[in-house]
Structure 1
Amino acid sequence: MISFYAIATDSTGTSKLYGIDLAGTSTPLFTVGSWFKGGLAYYPPTRLFYAIAQDTSGFSSLYRLSLDGHVQLLFGLGYRFTGGLTYRPQDNSLYAISSDKTGFSTLHRIDLAGSAPALFGLGLSFVGGLTHDALNDVFYAVTAHGADLSILYSIRLSAAVTPLFGVGVQNRGGISYQAAQKLFYSVHSDAKDFGYLQTISPSGAVQVLFGLGYGFDGANVCVSPFFGAAIKILSPLANERFLKNENVVFQAEVLDASGTYVVSDSSGLTWLSNFDGTLGTGVVTKSLSVHNHQITALGHGLQTSVPARVFADLWRPIRASSGPPTRAIRSTRPPRALRGQWSSPSWKPFAINASPSPFPSATRSPPTTMSGSTRTRSPFHSARASTRREAASSMRTAISRAGPT
């Protein structure tokens, strides 16, 4: 599994993208062009890599790279963008560092519409790489003064630039933060320009891992978006229930190592069932066999699983549910004088734990009947009629006593 990507440039100026695994294997993937020595970053909104190259005059341009080998020039940035490139998820933007002729460095926010406005100055010789901690919204950058000690700085958008500690000499091959491990990975070169990958802890401890080769000195190391990432299954939900022949949508996303943003969708993920076997790749819609399934999403060196159940008919979940015996209401009309407890969510097949209501059902009075010219009324109707007659009689008596007005 590739854990890092980096660009190395040989003595002729030819630059190649490499895939690097933690076992120490560095594999060239394809040639990206000439003099790519300004930074490399993955941009989740487009699922592509972006890199900075310079021409012979030092003018820098932004390129877009896909892992199938396609390289596209986007637009010019300005002179001497050689300090690194990184992604900030809070505003979905790329950030880069440039330096002027004196070596003074400036942080820029790159607008993919075609501009790179300057934000604020950093200091001298920030040419060793740029990275971002998404959880804490902090940038980190490395200075590289020739054979002098390289220093790691923290940078906030409030323009606070703070030196942290030394990280060795000639650390100009790039730096990238791995959130799951809480480690920095950087590339430093020896006196013969041979590059080595090393880790840097937040306390400043440096450990060399293995050699990479020559030409890894362009602030161009980038942690793979899938290194330390996690698959989040969106559908089906854990323990979701389905019926035979019901279509199930299989969909997921991949979260970065910090868990703060999505680095990929279902593309490149394969879906498996422990009973039905391979279900498909990407977003899949498919029915499952009647069984208890373990659904697995697999890809990018990652995998995760959720259980799901499929039943043959509507009432099988009732018989399979735990708890006291239930009486299934099979009538098409709702039951009267029953009270109960749903034994499963309302959108699933259900049963009602029912018992007779303690409240008696209301009874209707017999209807009024006609027998010839004689009406037969219930006692209730007779009492109401008697009350009305008494009220009318009292009204007439009161009027007669009052006399004419």
Structure 2
Amino acid sequence: MSAIIEVPGPGASVAVLRKERGWGQERLAAAAGISKSLLGKIERGERPMTQGVAASIAQAIGVTLDELLGKAPVHEGDEARLLDLTRAIRRFGLPRDPEMTETDLITSLQQMVTLRERADLRGVMAKLPQLVSAATNHAHAAGTPDAWARVAEAYSTVYWLAARHRWMTLADLATTKQKLAAEQADPVTAAIAVRDEAGLYLNHGDFEDGLAVVDSGLVRVERDAPTGAERLYALGILHLRGLTLAGRLRDRRTADRHIAKAWGLAEKLGQDVNRLGIHFGPQDTAVHVVATSADLGRHEDAIDTMNDLERLKKKGKLTLPTTRTSPLHMNVARSKLALGDREGALEELEEAWSLAPQMANVHPTAQELLRVLTSLHKRSNPRLTKLAKRARIQF
């Protein structure tokens, strides 16, 4: 295996886009605010491109972040479902007669949460068009806050699916409709909508604007949310989004402020709570801290936090779903790779793939880690070869 290999991954697009513009590395590095050395390592596959650096490069080159990272393709057979989903979203204000009873709708929503927590992207895609339509039609007929909360829940899942694939036009539509539905629901549903709206800015690479959305949402929760566990949850999910955004900006002070707030709220809550497929509590806070520690270059801290979660796992007390644990292992792999532990990074990446193969196949962090690991290994590695085949990479 050679030291430099052409392997698909977000970082592999940088040199192509740079050369299309006739730019040298020095010009792009200066425009993106990074060192020429780092840019060279990213292009050669010696360092993974983080999403924070990717946002800076995309802005410098003049492309969107999803263009640089690469949109995941629509699977064969899902084209019709995607068209049906878009049509259902478009009919938000044109209700038809309800096609599900309230009981059936609640059951369908719970099934969707289960699919989401398993990171079953294909399963979510298959059920979403009917669910969005049914939830919307029922809400127009019932007109209750609970009914509109279910619409918001359905659209939160649309946003989640779109963001995973970097289908940002669909993500934009979903968060717009989610916000409209949440305004007719309850304060916690509204907080989830704000969280997803800030996530939209995160996915676009507009981290400062995302933080502004979070701050505005926190003010609303402080004003409107009830006391008790619901208030802790609503504040907590927003602080988690805030620490992620600040980490991508490498704004340590803001990240640490959100981290401290999130830990404090999680400790008061005492356990992880799941609402609409979105978790908050001590364990989910730890997952977010691992990712943000990696973004901030605090790799030892990321691994220490992961070790705490591993101890819970050994005791059978880790309750997080696959959709949270798979990215967790990706982020630990980032930190291990940064510390020179390639075998450890490969082990974590293997675990991420084992837990959620559909997610790993489209996740830019998983793609970048695999690109870099294959580029750095100068000798054949059967485990790496096997993983590359799962990702359909030839080398």
TM-score for both structures, normalised by structure 2? 0.25
Greater Rg, structure 1 or structure 2? 1
Greater percentage in strand = 1
Q: Which has the higher helix share?
A: 2
TM-score by length of 1: 0.25
